[in-house]
Each structure stands twice: as structure tokens, then as C-alpha cells.
């Protein structure tokens, strides 16, 4: 507090009248008159006409509104504030004593026979003054009962406990505390359950009580609790007599915070919609902790008030099991584990959905859990299975309360997510889906993320769990005309197709492009300019592209289905994701057949054959290769035939049928030369050279592979170069020149790593190990085979057994 040199411990002549007035003061207006008298005197001594509320607010940190209520005599300042205020107004120590006595007398007269919280403040924070009656504030215990079904949440509980410990440490003289916490998450995720259960766990750490209010920020009826209602409810819980509760909100807030000053209380504010609902309920005392739950992020509380945000996400699969076991009994779950897994998956690990299904199972204990799983699987609308009988337990209704809070533009974007295959989406794709300029979309996505209708789980990547996506689809079906939905699906598919097509040609420059239809207005494909960008884009987007293939087929966009699958071939092969590639190519073939697209069928037959061979389904693969050759020949497509012969020959080579492989390679070479396709000719020459080497014909093998390298260098086809260097390494190894073979293999490996082809990298590593072993470097061979085995095991490829045998034999040798 600022000091005034003219103040002494004695009553000045000027202050004698003030002391006399203090002795006679009996009412709050009389006491307020004394405060005004002090204010005028202090202003004169500072050369001011009047100390303004703004000046006093700046010095005290209190609001101007509450100061006005003090000086107007509407509110009796609590003891701590009264003492601070009269010191600030220049009262001498002697004057402070008589003024404090006058305040206590006024307080005593205003008390009802029951305890008055205003007088209790002095007893709770320190010794009562002589001549006053000691009393205590009431200790409210407003927490609702701990809710059933609480499981897990270890990380969130740890954050809450740490904040509570921070508050305790500050009260004991430690660093600045955390006084506000926010729990935010999507509808039905269990925020209130977590908050209430934790509050009960730590209730004993807040000996002055716990306040609770449900603000009903997302209530189905729209009847939110106003700040005035919430603050008044807290004052009533603190037993403030109705006639002492101020009329205006700022004064109510001031009284509320005064009563909580220097006390250790927990305030749980549940279901807040926005900061405006919450800010008046903040305690303002470092010894109190305010915990707020909301579907919105309440970022303003973090930025302006220093709140610590804690996200509440979906349960883990293990936590979901625990929830169901608590409701249904662990024995019942143990009998049908597969049904339980399916229930958890179809409930999207959302606690509310799990609780609704568990309630149905508990009500029908004789029903097999497989029956419940089948109901979820067969439901026309997934959300129809999650109606608990009232608005609070109807998952669809609960989602709707968040949806209704959106602006129209954000609500439309959310609906259109129901036209997107998932599992997530980037900003550029969202712009194309909605047909909006890209610059407008980040703001709309931020609004959806703020409402926890989507989650930004990585920078610029947004997703939602399956039930929210089902709700978005339901909103789209109900509110978007059929032609608008179909146009959105087309825009989304075209965004991915045009971007993926450009990226696929950068991954494999030797491929022949597919002729695509022009993208409709509103579609802005992403600009990908080099191999690295293309690889990074596929790495991020391939789960969406796989889903888009199936989505396109189901929505009747059959051309998009096979063309999207075509774009995925090289990337998925290099990553060894053959089961995914089989599903994509089967969907592509079905779509191309239904559309009568012969070129699409031929491409799908060939690419399906390639992956079926990788999975050991040789006879099926051969049938698809032959079918592809028939269709390409009927279409007069030379490069299509050549590419198919090239792939067919690679399969025959893997089966040890080298003469047949050479025949297909030579056919591919002739067709590529006839079409003037230099990159294809290079690939075919490499295949022919490899086949000659397998047959022991090393002269022609070296000649063809050398010609392949010369053709490849101007094309920028790094993958083709890598294949050819690997062939040259094999040829030199067969000729006994293992030093040269090792150098060729190492050049191939550098290129395979640049294009991120993990399978071919492992294949070359296994041969490099053999050359190192033959050259006498057994330690190097073992190290190389270990690297190859690690990749193949990661890919789940059967070649791992052959490499494992090499490694075991190599490790068993002396000096390895």
C-alpha cells in the first residue's frame, strides 16, 4: 500500500469529527458516509478534487462497479477489503481501529439470528476483533453424486492432481498456482463424469467447501443458466441473506469473490457454453480452484485468465472394456470377447454410447452380447441404436446440441463431412468438398474443432469418430438436397483423384498417365511438384484414398473408383501394403465392370494380378494377367500390353520359370519400341537382361542392362535406375566379381531409399549380404541380412523366412 507521511498514530484535529461519527455509526449508509468522507479528505491531501473509481480500481485490482457499491452503501465490504480500503484512503492507525469497530457493529446489527457470512469472514481468516462475536462461513458441499461408469482417464487425472498440488503449494508459499482448469471434449465423452469423480477424490483438500453449478450451456431446451442466476445460487449456498444480495451482477460478483477470498474452495462449473457464462464465476483467489467443463475449448480463458486446458478424448479399447465390465460383469464379457470388441468399435469408444448399450444389456441379462453387436451392425442408421430413452442419453440428441451452436457456414461444412469417406481430411480437401475458397476454410474448421465436432489431431488434419461422422451424414441426408450431396461427393473424389494422379506420376515417371475428366468448379487440387512432396502426400493421404475407392464405387462413381486405385499401385507396393492393394483393386475392377469401362478393367486386372502374386495366389494372378492382355490387345493398347507382359514376366521369374519370363520381357520390349516409349523400353531391357542372367547368359545380360541405364538417365526414373543397378549387381555376382557387385547393390540401395521402396530395398539387401559373405566379409553379411530381415518382418512378407535362414547360417559361422 502507498504510504502518507502526514499520517500519525494519533487522531488529528481534522479527524476528531470522523472518530466521533464512527462511534455513533450504526447502519451501512452511515458507514458508507464515513468512507466517502475519507475519500474526499485523501483527495484534497493529494491535490485532487476526488479520487475516481478508476484510480481506486487500479490500486486495488477491484472492479469499479464493486467500489461504487461500497461507497453507495449497498454492500458491506468484507473485513479484509474494508481494512485495505481505509488504509488506502489515508486512515491513521487510530482511525483504522475505530472504523473497524464501526464496521463490526454494523455487521452485527445486519446479521440475522442465523450465521451471517459477512461477519464470519473475520473468524475464518484470522482472530476476531475484541468486542465482536466469532463465527464461521458455512461450508457448502454441493457436488452431485459421483457418477457410475467412470474408468481410466489416467492422464487427465494426473493433470488435475498436478494443478491441485500447485494450488496447495501456493497456499503454503510456493510458486504461482493454477486456479482455473478446463475439461473440454466432444459430446458424450464423459467430461462431467470425470470432473465430478475427481472432485470427490480431492474434496478433503478444500476444507472450506465445494460449489457446483450446471450451466446447461448445451441443454436441449435452450434454457441456459445465466451468470446472474449462477452467482446468486452461489451466494445463497454461502448463506448470504436475500436482502443482502446486491441487485446488479458486478456487485454480486464482488461479494461472491470477497466471500471466497483467502479460503480454500473448489468451484465446479459444468456444461459451460462460452466464456461469458464462466467469467463471473471465477473465484479470484489463489487458494481456490475453479474447474470448468465444456464442449467448447474456451480458449479465451486460457489466453486471458491463465486457465490450464485438459482435453478429454475417447476411451481406449481397454478402458471401454472396463466400462462394460463394470456395467455388465466381467464374466459376461469373457464369454463373448469378439462381440465385445465389435460393440466397442461400433460405439466408437464413446462413453455415452457404451453406457446406452450397457444399459440395454443389463436390462436383458439373458440376451447374448452377439445380439447387441448384430443390432449395431445391421442398423440402417447407426445412431438409432443409441437412444437411452431421454434427451440426455440419446446420442443423436446430445450431438445436436453442439451442432445447433454453429454458424450456418460451419454447420454446412460439418454436414458435408458426411459426404467424405474419411477417416480424416486436410484443409485443401475440405475446401474442395465444400466448393469454397481455401482461405475461408481454416476459420470454419477452427469453429468445428472449438465445438469438438471435429478434432485437429495433427496440424491441418481434422477427423471425427464414427458416430459423429454418422451424425454428419444424417444431417446431410436430411438438410442437403440429393443433387447437392452428389455434387459434394464428386468434388471430394475429384480433389483426391487429380492430386493423386499427379503425385503418382512423380513417384514413377515411367508410368503412362490416365486420361481424367476435367474437375468441376470449386475443386482445387493440391500442387505437388517433386518426388519428395508426392511421397509425403501419399504417406498422409493413402488411408483416405483407400476409403475413397470404396466410397466412389458405392456412390456410383465407378470411373473414379478404378482411377483412384490406379494411383495407389506404386506407393502401396513400395510400402508392402498388399492386403490394402488387393481390396482397392477388387473395388476398382467391380466399378470398371459395372461402368463398362474396358480400359479400367484391363488396368485393374493387371494391377490385381501383381498384388495377388505377392500374396502367393499364383493361379489367380495368372488368370488376371491373361485377361488384362486380352482386353489391352482388343483395345489396340500397345503400352498397356507391354506393361502387362513386363509384370507377368516378373512373376514367372519369381517362380523360377526363366525362359517364359524372358519371352514376356522380349514381347514387352518389342511393344514399347513400336510405341516409341523410351522409359518402357528401358524397363523391358532391364527385364530381358535379368532373365538372360538367370539363364546364365551374362553377355546379353550386361548389354541389355547397360542400354537400360543409358535410356533411364534422362527420364529421372530413379526407381527404374535402382532396378537396373540391382540387376547389374546380380550379374557381377554370378560372374564372381563380388567387389563390383557390392558397388552396384549399394547404388541400387541409395536409389530405393530415395523413392521409399521398402520391399525392393530388402530384396537387394539380401543379395548384398550374399555378395559380402562370398567376399569374406561375414560380419558385414550378417549385419546386412539383419537389416533386410527387419524390413521384411515389418512388411509381413514370406521372403523373411529365406533371409532368416541366411542369417542363422551366417551367425553360426566362425568370425561372424
- Three-class SS string for 420-456? CCCCEEEHHHHHHHHCCCHHHHHHHHHHHHHCCCCEE
Tens-digit pLDDT profile for residues 779-812: 999 999 999 999 988 887 778 888 998 888 888 7
Tens-digit pLDDT profile for residues 80-91: 788 888 888 888
What is the C-alpha separation between 263 and 287, in angstroms, rounded? 6
pLDDT for residue 127 is more than 70: no
* pLDDT the model gives residue 338: 93
What is the C-alpha separation between 22 and 30, in angstroms, rounded? 9
pTM of the predicted model as reported, rounded to 2 decimal places:
0.65
Q: Grid coordinates 430413452 are at which residue?
A: 389
pLDDT for residue 69 is more than 60: yes
What is the C-alpha separation between 575 and 812, in angstroms, rounded? 32
Average pLDDT on 634-660 reads 95
* pLDDT the model gives residue 286: 85
pLDDT for residue 164 is more than 90: no
pLDDT for residue 413 is more than 70: yes
Average pLDDT on 179-208 reads 90
Model confidence at 7, in pLDDT bands (50, 70, 90)?
very low
pLDDT for residue 387 is more than 70: no
Low-confidence winner among 105-109, 300-304, 712-716 (lowest mean pLDDT): 105-109
Model confidence at 644, in pLDDT bands (50, 70, 90)?
very high
- Cβ atoms 149, 326 nearer than 8 A: yes
* pLDDT the model gives residue 384: 66
Nearest one of 457, 482, 470 to 414, comparing CA atoms: 470
* pLDDT the model gives residue 13: 46
* pLDDT the model gives residue 464: 86
Strands of the 289-294 sheet, one edge to the other: 210-214, 266-272, 289-294, 180-184, 308-311
Model confidence at 19, in pLDDT bands (50, 70, 90)?
low
Low-confidence winner among 129-133, 379-383, 474-478, 793-797 (lowest mean pLDDT): 129-133
pLDDT for residue 422 is more than 90: no
Model confidence at 340, in pLDDT bands (50, 70, 90)?
very high
* pLDDT the model gives residue 3: 38
Low-confidence winner among 163-167, 530-534, 686-690, 794-798 (lowest mean pLDDT): 163-167
* pLDDT the model gives residue 389: 52
Average pLDDT on 42-68 reads 75
- Cβ atoms 182, 310 nearer than 8 A: yes
Tens-digit pLDDT profile for residues 700-724: 999 999 999 999 988 888 889 999 9
What is the C-alpha separation between 398 and 356, in angstroms, rounded? 13
DSSP string covering 341-389 = HHHHHHTTT-HHHHHHHHHHHHH-TTS-HHHHHHHHHH-SSGGGG-B-S
pLDDT for residue 634 is more than 80: yes
Average pLDDT on 368-394 reads 72
- Cβ atoms 383, 396 nearer than 8 A: yes
pLDDT for residue 247 is more than 90: no
Low-confidence winner among 104-113, 686-695, 721-730 (lowest mean pLDDT): 104-113
pLDDT for residue 646 is more than 90: yes
Tens-digit pLDDT profile for residues 538-594: 999 999 999 999 999 899 999 999 999 999 998 998 888 888 899 899 988 998 898
* pLDDT the model gives residue 797: 76
Model confidence at 741, in pLDDT bands (50, 70, 90)?
very high
Contacts 24+ apart (CB under 8 A), 150-158: 150/190, 150/193, 150/194, 150/197, 151/315, 151/319, 151/322, 151/323, 151/326, 152/315, 152/316, 152/318, 152/319, 152/322, 153/190, 153/194, 153/312, 153/319, 156/183, 156/194, 156/310, 156/312, 157/194, 157/198
* pLDDT the model gives residue 690: 95
* pLDDT the model gives residue 117: 38
* pLDDT the model gives residue 24: 66
Domains present along the chain, CATH in parentheses = 13-125 (no CATH), 154-311 (3.40.50.300), 317-395 (no CATH), 745-816 (1.25.40)
pLDDT for residue 187 is more than 50: yes
Q: Using the Cα atoms of residue 666, residue 668, residue 671 and residue 673 in order, give the sign of their dihedral.
A: negative
Q: Using the Cα atoms of residue 298, residue 299, residue 304 and residue 309 in order, give the sign of their dihedral.
A: positive
pLDDT for residue 121 is more than 50: no
Tens-digit pLDDT profile for residues 446-473: 999 888 888 887 889 999 888 888 889 9
pLDDT for residue 119 is more than 50: no
In the chain, the percentage of residues whose pLDDT exceeds 70 is: 88
**Which of 59-63, 72-76, 647-651 reaches the highest mean pLDDT?**
647-651
* pLDDT the model gives residue 796: 78
Nearest one of 406, 543, 399 to 467, comparing CA atoms: 399
pLDDT for residue 280 is more than 50: yes
* HSE value, Cβ hemisphere, 13 Å, CA-based, for 701: 23
* pLDDT the model gives residue 656: 94
Tens-digit pLDDT profile for residues 466-507: 888 888 998 999 999 999 999 999 999 999 999 999 999 998
Amino acid at each position: 500500500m502507498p504510504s502518507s507521511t502526514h499520517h500519525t498514530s494519533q487522531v488529528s484535529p481534522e479527524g476528531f469529527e470522523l472518530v466521533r461519527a464512527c462511534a455513533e455509526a450504526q447502519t451501512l449508509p452511515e458507514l458508507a458516509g464515513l468512507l466517502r468522507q475519507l475519500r474526499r479528505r485523501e483527495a484534497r491531501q493529494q491535490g485532487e478534487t476526488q479520487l475516481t473509481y478508476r484510480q481506486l480500481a487500479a490500486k486495488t485490482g477491484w472492479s469499479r462497479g464493486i467500489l461504487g457499491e461500497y461507497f453507495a452503501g449497498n454492500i458491506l465490504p468484507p473485513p479484509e477489503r474494508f481494512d485495505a480500503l481505509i488504509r488506502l484512503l489515508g486512515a491513521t492507525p487510530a482511525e483504522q481501529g475505530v472504523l473497524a469497530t464501526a464496521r463490526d457493529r454494523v455487521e452485527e446489527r445486519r446479521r440475522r439470528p442465523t450465521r451471517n457470512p459477512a461477519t464470519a469472514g473475520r473468524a475464518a481468516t484470522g482472530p476476531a476483533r475484541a468486542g465482536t462475536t466469532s463465527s464461521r462461513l458455512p461450508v457448502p458441499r454441493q457436488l452431485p453424486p459421483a457418477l457410475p461408469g467412470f474408468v481410466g482417464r489416467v492422464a487427465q487425472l494426473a493433470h488435475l492432481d498436478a494443478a491441485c498440488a500447485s494450488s496447495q503449494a501456493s497456499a503454503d508459499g510456493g510458486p504461482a498456482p493454477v486456479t482455473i482448469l478446463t475439461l473440454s471434449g466432444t459430446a458424450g465423452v464423459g467430461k462431467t463424469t470425470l470432473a465430478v469423480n475427481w472432485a470427490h477424490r480431492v474434496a478433503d483438500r478444500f476444507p472450506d467447501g465445494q460449489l457446483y453449478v450446471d450451466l446447461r450451456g448445451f441443454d436441449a431446451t435452450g434454457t441456459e443458466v445465466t451468470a446472474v442466476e449462477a452467482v446468486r445460487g452461489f451466494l445463497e449456498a454461502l448463506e448470504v441473506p436475500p436482502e443482502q444480495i446486491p441487485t446488479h451482477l458486478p456487485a454480486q460478483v464482488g461479494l461472491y469473490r470477497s466471500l471466497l477470498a483467502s479460503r480454500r474452495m473448489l468451484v465446479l462449473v459444468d456444461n459451460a457454453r462460452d466464456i461469458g457464462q464462466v467469467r463471473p464465476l471465477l473465484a479470484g483467489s489463489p487458494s481456490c480452484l475453479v474447474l470448468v467443463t465444456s464442449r467448447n475449448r474456451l480458449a479465451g480463458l486460457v489466453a486471458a485468465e491463465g486457465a490450464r486446458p485438459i482435453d478429454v478424448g475417447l476411451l481406449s479399447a481397454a478402458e471401454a472394456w472396463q466400462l462394460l465390465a463394470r456395467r455388465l460383469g466381467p464374466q459376461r464379457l469373457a464369454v463373448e470377447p469378439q462381440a465385445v470388441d465389435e460393440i466397442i468399435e461400433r460405439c466408437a469408444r464413446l462413453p455415452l454410447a457404451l453406457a446406452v448399450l450397457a444399459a440395454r444389456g443389463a436390462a436383458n441379462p439373458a440376451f447374448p452380447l452377439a445380439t447387441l453387436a448384430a443390432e449395431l451392425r445391421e442398423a440402417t442408421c447407426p445412431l438409432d441404436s443409441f437412444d437411452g430413452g431421454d434427451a440426455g442419453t440419446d446420442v443423436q440428441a446430445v450431438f445436436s446440441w453442439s451442432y445447433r451452436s454453429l454458424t450456418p457456414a460451419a454447420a454446412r461444412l460439418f454436414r458435408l463431412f458426411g459426404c467424405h469417406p474419411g477417416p480424416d481430411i486436410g484443409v485443401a480437401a475440405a475446401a474442395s468438398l465444400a466448393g469454397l475458397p481455401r482461405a475461408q476454410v481454416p476459420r470454419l474448421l477452427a469453429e468445428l474443432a472449438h465445438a469438438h465436432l471435429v478434432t485437429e489431431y495433427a496440424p491441418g488434419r481434422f477427423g471425427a469418430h464414427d458416430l459423429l461422422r454418422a451424425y454428419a451424414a444424417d444431417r446431410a441426408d436430411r438438410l442437403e438436397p440429393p443433387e447437392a450431396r452428389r455434387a459434394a461427393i464428386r468434388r471430394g473424389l475429384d480433389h483426391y483423384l487429380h492430386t493423386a494422379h499427379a503425385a503418382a506420376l512423380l513417384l514413377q515417371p515411367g508410368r503412362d498417365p490416365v486420361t481424367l475428366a476435367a474437375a468441376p468448379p470449386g475443386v482445387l487440387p493440391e500442387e505437388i511438384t517433386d518426388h519428395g512432396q508426392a511421397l509425403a502426400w501419399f504417406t498422409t493421404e493413402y488411408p483416405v484414398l483407400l476409403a475413397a475407392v470404396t466410397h466412389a464405387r458405392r456412390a456410383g462413381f465407378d470411373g473414379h473408383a478404378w482411377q483412384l486405385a490406379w494411383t495407389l499401385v506404386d506407393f502401396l507396393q513400395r510400402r508392402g501394403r498388399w492386403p490394402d492393394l488387393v481390396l482397392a483393386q477388387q473395388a476398382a475392377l467391380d466399378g470398371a465392370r459395372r461402368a463398362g469401362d474396358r480400359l479400367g478393367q484391363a488396368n485393374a486386372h493387371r494391377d490385381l494380378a501383381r498384388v495377388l502374386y505377392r500374396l502367393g495366389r499364383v493361379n489367380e494372378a495368372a488368370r488376371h494377367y491373361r485377361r488384362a492382355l486380352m482386353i489391352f490387345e482388343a483395345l489396340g493398347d500397345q503400352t498397356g500390353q507391354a506393361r502387362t507382359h513386363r509384370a507377368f514376366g516378373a512373376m514367372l521369374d519369381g517362380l523360377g520359370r526363366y525362359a517364359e519370363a524372358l519371352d514376356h520381357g522380349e514381347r514387352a520390349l518389342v511393344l514399347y519400341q513400336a510405341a516409341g516409349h523410351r522409359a518402357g523400353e528401358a524397363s523391358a531391357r532391364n527385364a530381358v537382361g535379368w532373365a538372360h542372367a538367370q539363364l546364365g547368359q551374362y553377355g546379353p545380360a550386361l548389354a541389355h542392362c547397360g542400354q537400360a541405364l543409358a535410356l533411364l538417365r534422362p527420364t529421372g526414373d530413379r526407381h527404374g535406375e535402382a532396378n537396373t543397378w540391382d540387376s547389374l549387381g546380380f550379374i557381377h555376382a554370378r560372374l564372381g566379381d563380388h567387389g563390383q557387385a557390392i558397388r552396384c547393390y549399394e547404388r541400387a540401395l541409395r536409389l530405393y531409399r530415395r523413392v521409399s521402396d521398402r520391399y525392393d530395398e530388402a530384396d537387394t539387401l539380401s543379395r548384398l549380404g550374399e555378395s559380402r559373405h562370398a567376399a569374406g566379409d561375414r560380419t558385414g553379411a550378417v549385419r546386412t541380412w539383419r537389416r533386410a530381415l527387419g524390413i521384411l518382418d515389418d512388411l509381413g512378407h514370406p521372403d523373411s523366412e529365406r533371409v532368416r535362414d541366411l542369417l542363422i547360417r551366417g551367425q553360426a559361422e566362425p568370425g561372424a
